[in-house]
Amino acid sequence: MSTVILLGPQQPAPSLGPALRSCGVEGPFTAVTAGWQEREGETGDLEAHLSAEVLDLGLYHRAEDVFRRDRLLALAYRERQVRLKELQRLYRVRLAHALAALRELMAATGAPELLAQARAGALAALRTLDRQHLREVRKRHAEFDAHWQPATRGALAEHIEEIAGLIRNRAALLIAGGHVAILVNRLRLFGIGELLGTRPVVAWSAGAMALAERVVLFHDHPPQGPGDPEVLVHGLGLVEGIVPLPHARRRLALDDPVRVRLLAARFAPARCLALEPGTLLQVTDGAWQAVGRLRALAEDGSVAEVALP
């Protein structure tokens, strides 16, 4: 049986310690803080909060070392990332139009049955677009892995073996938030999902996003850009049926029923869950349940409490 715990943001007040205690998860801990990029490994606050030693796996800096030592892999990796970036750009172009059409139809008036049909069609097109994009991204990753078999290459293989040993000797793994694309790429590069075994994993913010089936980027009112939620990449899939939305209250217009409705309907049957400070979700063998207060975006445009078991 595997246990995954998803938490909301750890700022301004961390909830990690109480969450670990309430779920009976004990150390010693390893940690992934690759999302912090150059701040990776600065786990002093974390250790002070937990009153326990935390051993950072150093995935961000290990990747730098791998790319420095294995130039061929580095070039191929960079080329893949350039292609994925271009794929994302093209997806955004289509996404903008698909979302604009759906929003226009949501605001339109007319014969109810025709409108409902048109809206359903536009929503289906949007969902298809997301699925197609995710499939293309997966395909690029699979092609890269099949061709380069990175885990078997000297520098990377050495690190993976070392990381496997570190994980084996600790009771649980913590995955912090930060830059979600970097985080999920590093987790995948070092095959962390395969190294975990049945150890408990505790992840928050971007860490929680990385463990879901797909990573959805979102912000309804950025200072620049359209603010259209977009699918970025497949996650590690340790938890199924949810789209984690850290800082939802701050990042999303939760008082806008149309935006809430579109986001909820777009990814249904997966539940769009607001991960706020203090949120705690326990996942056992892929199935999740809330511990304490949890809110989900609903297809009727509301943001409602998820019923506790």
Partner 1 sequence: MTRLTERLKGGRISAHDVDRLIRTSAFPLVEPAGVTFVWRGEADAVRLRHWIFGLPAAQPLERVPDTDLWHLFRELPPGSRVEYKFEVVRGGEERWVNDPLNPTVAHDPFGANSVCSAFGYRRPGWTLPDAEARPGSLDELRLQSVVFGDERSLKLYLPARFRRSRRYPLLIVHDGSDFLRYADLQTVLDNLIHRLEIAPLIAVLSDPIDRLGEYRGGATHGTFLAEELLPRLQQELPLLEAPAARGLMGASLGAVASLATAWRYPGVFGNLLLQSGSFAFSDIGPHRRDPVFDPVAAFMNAYRANPGHPAERLYVSCGIYESLIYENRSMVPLFQDQGLQVRYEEARDGHHWENWRDRLQSALSWLFPGPLWMVYE
Residues that bind partner 1 (CB under 8 A): 9-12, 35, 38-39, 177-182, 205-206, 209, 217, 219, 222-225, 246-247
Q: Which helix (H) or strand (E) holds 101?
A: helix 71-107
Q: Which is nearer to partner 1, 156 or 176 (CB)?
A: 176
Q: CA-CA distance, 185 to 190, in Å (whole number)?
A: 9
Provide the token pair at 14: 């961390």
- The DSSP symbol for 272 reads E
Collect all residues with Cβ–Cβ distance below 8 Å to 289 and sequence separation of at least 6. Answer: 281, 282, 283, 308, 309
Find the shortest distance in angstroms from Cβ 133 to partner 1: 16
Q: Which is nearer to partner 1, 121 or 222 (CB)?
A: 222
Q: Which is nearer to partner 1, 30 or 205 (CB)?
A: 205
In this structure, what are the phi and psi dihedrals at residue 25, rounded to the nearest 5 degrees? -95, 125
Q: Which is nearer to partner 1, 181 or 297 (CB)?
A: 181
In this structure, what are the phi and psi dihedrals at residue 215, rounded to the nearest 5 degrees? -95, 120
Find the shortest distance in angstroms from Cβ 105 to partner 1: 26
218 contacts 245 by C-beta, under 8 angstroms? yes
Find the shortest distance in angstroms from Cβ 223 to partner 1: 4
Find the shortest distance in angstroms from Cβ 10 to partner 1: 8
Find the shortest distance in angstroms from Cβ 246 to partner 1: 5
Q: Which is nearer to partner 1, 195 or 294 (CB)?
A: 294
Q: Which is nearer to partner 1, 39 or 139 (CB)?
A: 39
Provide the token pair at 93: 């172009």
Find the shortest distance in angstroms from Cβ 151 to partner 1: 26
Q: CA-CA distance, 57 to 163, in Å (whole number)?
A: 7
DSSP SS3 for 17: helix
